[in-house]
Amino acid sequence: MFDDRSPIYLQIADGIKNDVLSGALKEDEQVMSTNQYAAFYRINPATAAKGFAQLVDEGVLYKKRGIGMFVSPDARDKLRAARRERFFTEVVDPMLAEAKRVGIGVDEIVRHLGGAR
Amino acid sequence: MSAHHLLFRVYRPIIIVFTAILLTSDLVVTTLVVVGTGHIGFSMWIVLAGYAAKYWLLVVGIMLVVMQLRQFVANGGTRHEFLAGAAVFGLIVTAGFAAVVTIGHGVESMVLGAGDWRGDGYPTLPLDGMLGQFGQLFPESLAYLMSGAMIAAGFYRWRPLIGLVVMVGGAIPAAVADGLLGVDEFGHVAARLPYPVALALSLAATALVGLALRRAISDVPIKRTAG
Amino acid sequence: MIELRDVTVRFGSTVAVDDVRLDLPTGKIYGLLGRNGSGKTSLLSALASYRRPTAGTVRFDGVDAFENPAVMRHTCFIRDTLDVSDSERVRAVLRVAGWMRPGWDADYAARLADLFELDPSKRVSALSRGRRSALGVVLGLASRAPLTILDETYLGMDAVARADFYRELLADYLAHPRTIILSTHLIEEVADLLERVVILDRGRVLLHAEADELRGRGIKVTGPDTVVADFAAGHHVLAEQSLGGVRAVTLDWRPAPDDVARGEAAGLTFGPVGIQDLFVHLTSPSQRLEALR
């Protein structure tokens, strides 16, 4: 489930963000408690709590005291906006760099993408 | 649970089995001798139970240090709690054993007397002699228990060489008690000194070694030894 | 809070624990890592008052722990050798723990014994190494001691039993939070369960950090000799190897995504460094050699 590339709490946060983006987690839907999450994924609850705290800080989740944590109503839109911003720098630019290394021209890429339309 | 409660629970089955074996052996041997020769010239009970009370308590003293201390600390007790509990346990068990040996001897003496089976050398124990015998056995058993514990503590805590030196010191209570209060199978007491003096010396030796034991155990590392 | 203040444990002229100062907030799961002979067991023995430190003190919430009845009652130290009588039956060992331990859960102990297929009527001496360890797990978990120390309590257990052990440990910790210290060599297996990690090296604390922070703390960089050298400049090198013109270095550094992108553009590849790798690099003698150069 988790790898060694980065702290687990960041991977937890990313996983939940992906679920929100994909719609697997809906607006105002309750997410697992840190203890449930820890037991399910076999991780330390403090690590899970840290991941959730990060999401609360970023506004993806909100807390209802004594009940649990829920997906913020605007979380999906905010995440989409942020990801769209990063799309070109994080996805397209590396692809272009790789294309250049192996000698694929932009025209060829555009043609390929045209096929995907 | 306090240490003496734990020790009684741990030792209860052992004590019961041990006492049963003693009783059975005494009955069998005494009966055989009486049936075979018509009378018995010594007290099987004193031979068996009298010696067993001493040597078994010596072994108990050793086991307390080698086994139960570790068990007690590993379950969340302190060494001081253990020492206090072992003292209570030791006093009660030695007193109990001395009483059992005395009463058993008294009963044996009475039964053999009633059947006219007492031989020449048999150490008859009249009712008014019982307190005296208890007074010999109790401090002697106590001394053996203490010697066992101290000898074990020497080897448990220190290197074998130092353990040997401690062993000599640890044996003092048993040696003093044996020399001054010892009773043989014919019921003869060594009685080199008047009883009060002998008792005082024996108890003093036991108490001194008890203090040394307390020092040795109060911060002893809990060893990994299996056992 | 558990505080070790300048704790030293010496055996004759051998220094097993060397002036250790450590603050351990309670209620967390700690991993104590260290190579053989690094002083783990000696440190734990001092922590559990099995041994009075040669110098220094162990304090619980400000009071000296040694021979303190309240502290010792709440401490459960399970050594790899197990402090039980070999001649006793498993049932008797558990019964004694039940008498002595204020938090003992007999039902839970029975369930655990069942899980590990530990026959209560067997004598301890007849148990295999793995079952012996399982008995240690049962004693350690069912005691529910506020400070539970498990010193390599997995020896001889197969992968399935170990997985059961880790799952039960976490589940019971979630239900009954307490301070648990796991001393282990199988770092990778327990890394996810740990909140904090203490690495001991030759009697000293080499590192005390949040376990999760160690993940991704280092990075492995591979590429052409000179490019790698450029990239690694100014960063602590934990390990390196080269073959032909290719060099691979392990750095104690967490580069920003921009740095990684820049490196990749220059032809470098990056690989993760797990907690286990980090531990090996930090405590291996070649690393010390490296530091001396």
User: Would A22 be classed as within a structural domain?
Assistant: yes
Partners of chain C (3+ Cβ pairs below 8 A): A, B
C193·A3 Cβ contact <8 A: no
Other CB atoms within 10 Å distance of the CB of residue C102: 12
In a domain, A3, yes or no: no
A36 touches chain C (CB under 8 A): no
How do residues B12-47 score in pLDDT, each as one tens digit?
A: 998 999 889 988 998 999 899 888 888 888 888 888
Chain C residues whose CB is inside 8 A of the A45 CB are 174
The residue extents of the domains of chain C are 2-214, 219-273
For chain C positions 26-55, those within 8 Å of chain B (CB to CB) are 45, 49-52
User: Cβ separation of B219 and C66 shorter than 8 Å?
Assistant: yes
Read off the pLDDT of residues A65-95 as tens digits, 9 standing for 90 and up: 889 999 999 999 999 998 888 888 888 888 8
Q: B19-55 in b/e burial notation, b at 16+ Cβ within 10 A? A: beebeebbeeebeebbeeeeebebbbbbbbbbebbbe
SS3 C212: helix
Q: Specify if A1 maps to a domain.
A: no
Structure tokens given for C203: 């009697």
Interface predicted TM-score (ipTM) of this complex, two decimals: 0.89
Calpha distance C143→C147 (Å, rounded): 10
Q: Do C212 and A35 touch (CB under 8 A)?
A: no
pLDDT band at C256 (very low <50, low <70, confident <90, very high): confident
Based on the domain organization, do A26 and A52 belong to the same domain? yes
The conformation of residue C110, written as its DSSP 8-state character, comes to: H
Sequence letter at residue C120: P
Ranges of each domain in chain B: 3-217
Which of A14, A44, A90, A102 has the most C C-beta neighbours within 10 Å, making it the best mutation to test the interface with C?
Answer: A44
A3 alpha-carbon distance from chain centroid: 15
In the predicted model, what is the mean pLDDT of residues C252-261?
85
Q: What is the DSSP letter of B189?
A: B
Give chain C positions within 8 Å (CB) of A32: none
Residue of A nearest to C271 (CA): A5
Give the rounded percent of residues in chain B with a pLDDT score beyond 90.
Answer: 59
Which residue range is the domain that position A41 belongs to? 8-73
Q: What is the pLDDT of residue C134?
A: 97
pLDDT over 90 (residue C118) = yes
In one-letter notation, the amino acid at residue B199 is: L
Instruction: Mark whether C and B touch (3+ CB pairs within 8 Å).
Output: yes
Determine phi and psi for B149, rounding to 5 degrees: -65, -40
Encoded amino acid at B65, one letter: V
Q: Pick from C192, C214, C250, C279 the residue to mutate for testing the A interface (most A CBs within 10 Å).
A: C192
Query: What pLDDT score was predicted for residue B206?
Result: 97
B158-195 burial, b if ≥16 CB within 10 A, otherwise e? eeeeebeebbeebbbbbebbbebbbbebebeeeeeeee
Q: Inspect the interface and report whether the beta carbons of A47 and C211 lie closer than 8 Å.
A: yes
Q: How many domains, chain A?
A: 2
- Please report the beta strands in B33-160, taking only residues with DSSP state E, as ranges in sequence order: none
State whether C75 and B80 contact (CB < 8 Å).
no
Give pLDDT, residue C293.
Answer: 43
Chain C residue with the nearest C-alpha to that of B2:
C100
- Phi then psi dihedrals of residue C215, to 5 deg: -75, 120
Q: What is the pLDDT of residue B225?
A: 63
**Spacing of C-alpha B91 from chain mean position:** 10
CA distance C146 to B171: 42
Phi, psi of C187 (to 5 degrees): -60, -45
pLDDT of res. B123: 84
Residues A91, A103, single domain; the answer is yes
Give CB contacts under 8 A, 24+ apart, made by B23-31: B23/B104, B26/B104, B26/B108, B30/B108, B30/B112
> Given a contact as 3+ CB pairs under 8 Å, which chains touch A?
C
- CATH of residue A42: 1.10.10.10
Q: How far is CA C153 from the centre of its chain?
A: 11
Asked if residue A2 is part of any domain, the answer here is no
Contacts of A100 (CB under 8 A, 6+ apart): none
- A60 with A82, same domain: the answer is no
Mean pLDDT across chain A = 90
Q: Which tens digits make up the pLDDT trace of C180-202?
A: 999 999 998 999 999 999 999 99
Cα separation, A24 vs A19, in Å, equals 5
Q: Which CATH class is domain C2-214?
A: alpha beta
pLDDT at A95: 87
Q: Do A94 and C264 touch (CB under 8 A)?
A: yes
Q: Which of C180, C212, C213, C262 to mutate to test the interface with A (most CBs of A within 10 A)?
A: C212
Which chain A residues touch C194 with a CB distance below 8 Å?
A: 44
